[in-house]
Amino acid sequence: MDLSARPAVVQPAADDDLLPVGYVTPEQHEALIKAATRKHLALIEDAARAAGVPVDVVSVTSEYPAESIIATGRIARNRSS
């Protein structure tokens, strides 16, 4: 008998929302992204302030990140003018 073989793991095909295991709904995904964003931007903001560096953190979600980065930069530039 080969004791080094791994036992088969059987996972259910779907959870309560009828999504495959490991998948989340769009609403759950959005909440996870927002929570992660807040956590990471808070670290950046705290480090900048501790170093005496002016900081203004912004979070934008988009299907087209490059366009959103440019648009957000333009908005920030216009605000500071």
Average pLDDT per block of 10 residues along the chain, 81 residues long: 63 61 83 94 96 93 91 90 74
Each domain of the chain, given as residue ranges in start order, spans: 26-80
Does the pTM exceed 0.85? no
SS (H, E, C) the chain: CCCCCCCCCCCCCCCCCCCCCCCCCHHHHHHHHHHHHHHHHHHHHHHHHHCCCCCCCCCCCCCCHHHHHHHHHHHHHHHHC
Residue 69's pLDDT is 92
Per-residue pLDDT of 20-40, as tens digits, reads 767 888 888 889 999 999 999
Residue 42's pLDDT is 96
